[in-house]
Amino acid sequence: MGRGIGYAKTIFFGEHFVVYGIPAIGIGLSKKIEVEIEKSSYMKIESNHADANLLKGIEAIKTAIKVQDNFIVKIKSEIPMRSGLGSSAAISVAFVRAISDEYKLNLSDEQISSYAYESEKIYHGTPSGTDNTLATFGGAIIFQKREGGNLITPLKIGKPFHIVIGNTDKRKSSTSEIIAAVKSRKEKNPEIYEYFFNAEKKIIEFAIKAIEYGNLEELGELMNLNHGILSAIGVSSKENEDIVQTARNMDALGAKITGAGCGGSCVILAKNEKNAEEIANEIKKMGYFVISAMVQ
């Protein structure tokens, strides 16, 4: 029997643009997915997540690691699927770790993340690699997709801050469909999208400084700007806007979509712990799943 764990994540800044090589800021969360594998004569997944691609993703990892055995794969998850919180990457990472445990492979975190990326490609088409990186390493990072090796830089947190994540559980499209829709809109309006890309680059550059220097007011402003761009490229929804507006009306420093959007989740930067609690309660009242975290 082998066991492994993968963590949830929030993309704080840079979702979608990261697919095209712009750096993203990601934060690992403590919510996790646990995978347990037991050798069997056939492959079977036991999970409360119905997802047709789950088995395909797991097979892709087996092929990459050159494992021919079959398993009963038990998935225990604290992360909702299609939530923008990296559930598929967390499953992939947990499965690779379970394989490493079963066969005593002693895989390094770099190897774990890179095998997990094989199934991310099945789930998401052309993923950036941010999700599997955060699901493996956790922490706060700057992630940049690059030919010949992604650039992963740990991010220093100048002043701890409180985030609240509201998950709408209302996503009809998959991440790969949303990425493809953004690509097609970008191809229709390349000049305008160039402005969005340049603005996003600046937002990330300033957000890194705001996080490092603990300038939380500025960080919140930048989240609001980033959300505006995500709405402009067509990845917001009524539910996303409801959460963002509710949080802003309650004096949050900033609020935006996190992850692929079109439903999924929003991340909110609260003023302080009390403000975070109040916002979390309000979003729960709206009927949504909430995760609160202190980033330090």
C-alpha distances in Å from residue 247, one per residue of 267, 270, 284, 290, 294: 10, 8, 12, 13, 17
Least Å distance, CB 235 to ligand MEV, is 8
* 51 annotated active-site: no
Q: Is 27 in the site for ligand MEV (CB under 6 A)?
A: no
Nearer to ligand MEV, 123 or 161 (CB): 123
* Footprint of ligand MEV on 235-274 (CB under 6 A): 259-260
**Which one of 109, 131, 169, 242 is the catalytic residue?**
131
Q: What are phi and psi for residue 3, nearest 5 degrees?
A: -130, 150
The CA-atom distances, in angstroms, between 279 and each of 46, 88, 215, 273, 290 are: 35, 27, 21, 10, 10
Window 50-89: residues binding ligand MEV (CB under 6 A): 84, 86
Residue 225 has φ and ψ, to the nearest 5°, of -65, -45
Assess contact for 196 and 229: CB atoms under 8 A.
yes
Runs of H (alpha helix) within 138-272 = 175-188, 190-213, 216-232, 238-249
Residues forming beta bridges with residue 77, ordered by sequence position: 33
Site for ligand MEV in 135-174 (CB under 6 A): none
Q: Choose between 37 and 165: whose C-beta lies nearer to ligand MEV.
A: 165
| Spatial distance between the Cα atoms of 30 and 5, rounded to a whole number of angstroms | 11
| Closer CB to ligand MEV, 7 or 71, in the complex | 7
CB of residue 117 vs ligand MEV: minimum separation in angstroms?
A: 10
By CB under 6 A, name the one of 6, 10, 18, 87 that touches ligand MEV: 18
Q: Which is nearer to ligand MEV, 216 or 233 (CB)?
A: 233
144: closest CA among 54, 13, 273, 244?
A: 13
Cβ 110 to ligand MEV shortest distance, Å: 18
CB-nearer residue toward ligand MEV: 31 or 124: 124
Shortest gap between Cβ of 129 and ligand MEV (angstroms)?
Answer: 7
Q: At what angle do helices 190-213 and 175-188 cross, to 10 degrees?
A: 120
Smallest separation, CB 170 to ligand MEV (Å): 16
**Phi/psi of residue 293, each to 5°?**
-150, 150
In the shown chain, the binding pattern of residues 167 to 206 toward ligand MEV, with x for contact by CB under 6 A and - for none, equals: --------x---x---------------------------
- If one asks whether residue 128 binds ligand MEV (CB under 6 A), the answer comes out as yes
CA distance 98 to 3: 4
DSSP state of 146: -
- The size of the interface with ligand MEV (CB under 6 A), counted in residues, is 16
Residue 266, phi then psi, degrees to nearest 5:
-125, 150
Instruction: Establish if 19 lies at the interface with ligand MEV (CB under 6 A).
Output: yes
CA–CA distance, 166 with 73 (Å, rounded to integer): 29
Shortest Cβ 126–ligand MEV spacing (Å): 7
- Residues serving a catalytic function are 131
**Residues near ligand MEV (CB under 6 A):** 11, 15-16, 18-19, 84, 86, 124, 127-128, 130-131, 175, 179, 259-260
